[in-house]
């Protein structure tokens, strides 16, 4: 928690300091009133008191009350400003940190958990700051100040008050010890609720298609019941704590008046002034003792929020302290252009016991098309992820433009690459904003946008849209078909004018005709651009300059289509599973002619 509070900007720190000063002023005026109340008690009981003096003391009490109220309002305003500013800063830092995460870090936290940490966890701390700047400062200062005021009044009354305070503090500490682990549990269960809800919303069509509504409802109910039961235990415990504190405060007041009455009774009737003085002291003592217990009750309110805020702070710090596994280099340019080479590259995921890629070597020269094919799980996507540096190789070396890919700055690296993901990812906004998404060295212009759309075969349906380039796309491309989303995703990579284009099974959503037209357009317009293509269709990669055949993470074949048909059984098996030997022969003859 303290680590997070250090992230406050200077403006919030200044407002927090002003809030503390205002709260101290408020406490001063609150604790001044019992003294005036004692004076009033003595004046009323003393024969011959002047009414004007009573009015004067009453006016001072009213002034203290109004001053306390005004300071409380201003302090509340500054506390709210401080808490809101702190939340803004922390959310910004979390977002910036998450933006620097790679796939490894995202897999470690999970998307639902990151969302909860950015929203709910930050809100928990914001609420604690907003209340804590007032209550957490006011309560202990008021309690200590009140104790100092009454410590010399009567040792009997002081002892009685001390016993009640020790009892109430013991109850609070035991409650905190019991509830703190459960607040950690609440945050984890909130993550589960968020995860299941996201699965429900993202997969609603599949759920309907498989008649799985009841199954999903049961899964959500289990998580919801677990969260509800934990929260009920926490809230019931706090619900029992607050009446207990109120009972303690009332019992303390009753005990003070009962004990005070006994002390007054022991004073001789002839010593009237001593009886009057002690009577005033009892009233003051009762008020100050009430302030002590009220302070404890205010601390209880903070303790109700502190465990959840502490757990939230730990979860937020986990994000902020996580260092991305992929570190940025400083190099801006390489010694070559448009080349990529894998030298004996192996890769193993951190939590895996087996390598995904083993000793992969190949070279892609400028303008070449290098394709990757293999069975599901053979490591194709992982291989191109290394080329895009989503991960770093655990062994071997990946060279981009003749230099180790780890030496490039992220800006220099991604200016050289155009990456098309296996699943098309679009953002809410216009077609033009999605095509020109991000930063690159390529000029952003309408001409360049249409050129990218033409090559990706997206221009035909974009031109039919009412707003054309200005047509709005829903979150995730919900108003587009799968093929349309994929073609805009491809146009986004083309608009960057990269040295190397990476297609991670990006043609699977396209029909054969569109696939063929797109590949021809790529060869015509981007013939100097190196292309890495992951594909399942033989027809998509048949004319590639090099084809790398992967099997269980190993490169079992490297060459052109004709060569692999002759000397690579794995490739031949894939090819024959898609096309007959005659079809393959006819296509080869047509290609030769």
In a domain? residue 401: yes
Which residues lie across from 557 on neighbouring strands?
549
In a domain? residue 326: no
Mean pLDDT for the stretch of residues 415-438? 87
Residue 586 has pLDDT above 50, yes or no: no
Same domain, 313 and 355: no
For 344, the token pair is: 């004996």
Residue 272's pLDDT is 66
Mean pLDDT for the stretch of residues 192-202? 82
450-468, pLDDT tens digit by residue?
A: 999 999 998 888 899 888 8
Same domain, 315 and 361: no
Alpha helices in 100-121 (DSSP H): 103-109, 111-116
Interatomic CA distance for residues 40 and 313, integer angstroms: 49
Residue 584's pLDDT is 57
Interatomic CA distance for residues 251 and 39, integer angstroms: 25
In a domain? residue 242: yes
89-109, pLDDT tens digit by residue?
A: 889 889 988 888 877 788 778
Residue 556 has pLDDT above 60, yes or no: yes
Interatomic CA distance for residues 94 and 4, integer angstroms: 11
Residue 54 has pLDDT above 60, yes or no: yes
Count the domains in the chain.
2
Helix (H) or strand (E) holding 555: strand 554-559
Mean pLDDT for the stretch of residues 324-348? 88
Query: How does residue 580 score in pLDDT terms, banded at 50, 70 and 90?
Result: low
Query: How does residue 178 score in pLDDT terms, banded at 50, 70 and 90?
Result: confident
For 357, the token pair is: 């890629």
120-134, 142-156, 477-491, 545-559 — which one is most confidently predicted on average? 545-559
Query: How does residue 590 score in pLDDT terms, banded at 50, 70 and 90?
Result: very low
Which stretch of 213-217, 255-259, 395-399 has the lowest confidence by average pLDDT? Answer: 255-259
What b/e string do you get for 532-558 counting C-beta neighbours within 10 Å, with b at 16 or more?
A: bbbbbbbbbbbebebbbbbbbbbbbbb
Q: For residue 380, which phi and psi values (nearest 5 degrees)?
A: -65, -50
Residue 588's pLDDT is 45
Distances (CA, A) of 75 to 6, 131, 135, 137, 455: 21, 10, 11, 11, 62
Same domain, 418 and 286: no
Query: How does residue 593 score in pLDDT terms, banded at 50, 70 and 90?
Result: very low
Residue 587 has pLDDT above 50, yes or no: no
DSSP SS3 for 153: coil
Residue whose token pair is 């984890």: 188
Cα 243 versus chain centre, distance = 36
Range of the domain at 362: 340-592
In a domain? residue 331: no
91-100, 112-121, 436-445 — which one is most confidently predicted on average? 91-100
Residue 332's pLDDT is 84
Interatomic CA distance for residues 343 and 360, integer angstroms: 7
In a domain? residue 409: yes
539-553, pLDDT tens digit by residue?
A: 888 889 999 999 988
% residues pLDDT > 90 (the chain) = 15
Alpha helices in 266-351 (DSSP H): 272-321
Q: Are 503 and 370 in contact (CB under 8 A)?
A: no
Interatomic CA distance for residues 126 and 124, integer angstroms: 5
Cα 13 versus chain centre, distance = 24
Query: How does residue 2 score in pLDDT terms, banded at 50, 70 and 90?
Result: low
Interatomic CA distance for residues 88 and 232, integer angstroms: 31
For 287, the token pair is: 């008020």
Residue 448 has pLDDT above 50, yes or no: yes
Same domain, 97 and 175: yes
Mean pLDDT of the residues in the chain = 83
Residue 274 has pLDDT above 80, yes or no: no
Residue 107's pLDDT is 77
**CATH number of residue 398's parent domain:** 3.40.50.300
CA 591-592-593 angle, to 5 degrees, is: 90
Same domain, 415 and 316: no
Interatomic CA distance for residues 62 and 94, integer angstroms: 48
Same domain, 412 and 307: no
Helix (H) or strand (E) holding 472: strand 472-473
Q: Is the pTM of this model over 0.75?
A: no
Q: Are 582 and 542 in contact (CB under 8 A)?
A: no
Interatomic CA distance for residues 298 and 306, integer angstroms: 12
Length of the chain measured in residues: 593
In a domain? residue 278: yes
Mean pLDDT for the stretch of residues 111-136? 84
3-state secondary structure 338-376: CCEEEEEEEECCCCCCCCCEEEEEEEECCCCEEEEEECC
3-state secondary structure 384-448: HHHHCCCCCCCEEEEEECCEEHHHECHHHHHHHEEEECCCCCCCCEEHHHHHCCCCCCCCCCHHH
Mean pLDDT for the stretch of residues 244-254? 80
Same domain, 410 and 300: no
Residue 512 has pLDDT above 60, yes or no: yes
Residue 358 has pLDDT above 50, yes or no: yes
Residue 148 has pLDDT above 80, yes or no: no
Interatomic CA distance for residues 273 and 279, integer angstroms: 10
Same domain, 96 and 168: yes
Same domain, 426 and 379: yes
Q: Are 286 and 253 in contact (CB under 8 A)?
A: yes
Residue 391's pLDDT is 87
Query: How does residue 113 score in pLDDT terms, banded at 50, 70 and 90?
Result: confident
For 157, the token pair is: 């009354």
The domain boundary, picked from 321, 356, 377, lies at 321
**CATH number of residue 311's parent domain:** 1.20.1560.10
Distances (CA, A) of 260 to 34, 291, 292, 393: 17, 18, 18, 80
Query: How does residue 1 score in pLDDT terms, banded at 50, 70 and 90?
Result: low
Q: Are 404 and 397 in contact (CB under 8 A)?
A: yes
308-322, pLDDT tens digit by residue?
A: 788 788 888 888 888
Same domain, 401 and 461: yes
Interatomic CA distance for residues 105 and 118, integer angstroms: 15
Which stretch of 146-155, 238-247, 502-511 has the lowest confidence by average pLDDT? Answer: 146-155
In a domain? residue 335: no
DSSP SS3 for 29: helix
Interatomic CA distance for residues 411 and 439, integer angstroms: 9
Residue 429 has pLDDT above 90, yes or no: no
Residue 398's pLDDT is 93
Q: Are 468 and 438 in contact (CB under 8 A)?
A: no
Query: How does residue 442 score in pLDDT terms, banded at 50, 70 and 90?
Result: confident
Torsion of CA 306, 309, 314, 320, to 10 degrees: -140
CA 212-213-217 angle, to 5 degrees, is: 120
Give the torsion sign (CA, 327, 333, 339, 344). negative
The domain boundary, picked from 257, 292, 321, lies at 321
The domain boundary, picked from 321, 353, 373, lies at 321
Same domain, 51 and 156: yes
Residue whose token pair is 């400028």: 366
Same domain, 274 and 420: no
Interatomic CA distance for residues 465 and 449, integer angstroms: 15
């Amino acid at each position: 928690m303290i680590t997070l509070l250090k992230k406050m900007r200077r403006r919030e720190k200044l407002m927090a300091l002003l809030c503390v000063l205002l709260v101290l002023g408020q406490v001063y005026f609150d604790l001044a009133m019992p003294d005036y109340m004692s004076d009033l008690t003595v004046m009323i009981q003393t024969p011959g008191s002047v009414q004007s003096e009573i009015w004067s003391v009453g006016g001072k009490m009213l002034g203290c009350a109004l001053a306390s109220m005004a300071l409380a309002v201003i302090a509340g305003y500054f506390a709210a400003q401080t808490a809101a500013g702190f939340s803004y800063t922390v959310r910004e830092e979390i977002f910036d940190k998450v933006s620097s995460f790679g796939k490894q870090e995202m897999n470690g936290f999970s998307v639902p958990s990151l969302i909860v940490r950015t929203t709910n966890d930050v809100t928990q701390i914001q609420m604690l700051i907003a209340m804590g700047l007032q209550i957490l400062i006011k309560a202990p200062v008021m309690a200590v100040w009140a104790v100092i005021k009454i410590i010399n009044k009567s040792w009997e009354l002081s002892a009685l008050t001390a016993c009640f305070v020790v009892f109430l503090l013991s109850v609070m500490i035991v409650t905190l010890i019991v509830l703190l682990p459960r607040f950690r549990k609440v945050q984890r269960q909130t993550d589960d609720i968020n995860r299941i809800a996201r699965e429900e919303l993202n997969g609603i069509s599949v759920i309907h298609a498989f008649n799985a509504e009841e199954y999903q409802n049961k899964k959500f109910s289990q998580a919801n019941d677990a969260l509800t039961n934990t929260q009920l235990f926490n809230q019931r415990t706090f619900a029992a704590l607050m009446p207990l504190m109120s009972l303690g405060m009332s019992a303390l007041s009753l005990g003070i008046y009962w004990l005070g009455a006994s002390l007054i009774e022991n004073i001789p009737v002839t010593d009237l002034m001593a009886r009057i003085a002690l009577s005033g002291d009892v009233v003051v003592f009762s008020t100050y003792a009430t302030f002590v217990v009220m302070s404890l009750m205010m601390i209880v309110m903070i303790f109700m929020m502190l465990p959840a805020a502490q757990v939230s702070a730990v979860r937020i710090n986990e994000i902020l302290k996580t260092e991305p596994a992929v570190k940025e280099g400083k190099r801006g340019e390489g010694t070559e252009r448009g080349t990529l080479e894998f030298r004996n590259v192996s890769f193993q995921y951190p939590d895996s016991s087996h390598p995904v890629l083993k000793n992969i070597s190949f070279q892609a020269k400028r303008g070449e098309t290098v394709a990757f094919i293999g069975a599901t799980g053979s490591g194709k996507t992982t291989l191109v992820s290394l080329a895009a540096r989503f991960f770093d190789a655990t062994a071997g070396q990946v060279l981009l433009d003749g230099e180790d890919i780890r030496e490039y700055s992220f800006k220099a690296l991604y200016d050289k690459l155009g990456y098309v993901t296996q699943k098309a990812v679009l953002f809410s906004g216009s077609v033009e904003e999605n095509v020109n998404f991000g930063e690159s060295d390529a000029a952003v212009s309408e001409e360049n946008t249409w050129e990218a759309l033409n090559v990706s075969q997206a221009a035909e349906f974009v031109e039919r849209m009412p707003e054309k380039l200005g047509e709005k796309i829903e979150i995730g491309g919900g108003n587009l078909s799968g093929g349309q989303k994929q073609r805009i995703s491809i146009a986004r990579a083309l608009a960057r004018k990269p040295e190397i284009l990476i297609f991670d099974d990006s043609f699977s959503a396209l029909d054969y005709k569109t696939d063929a037209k797109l590949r021809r357009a790529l060869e015509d317009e981007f013939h100097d651009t190196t292309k890495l293509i992951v594909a399942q269709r033989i027809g998509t990669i048949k004319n590639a300059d090099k084809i790398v055949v992967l099997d269980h993470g190993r490169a079992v074949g490297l060459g052109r289509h004709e060569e692999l048909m002759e000397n690579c059984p794995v490739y031949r098996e894939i090819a024959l599973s898609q096309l007959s030997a005659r079809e393959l022969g006819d296509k080869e003859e047509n290609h030769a002619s």
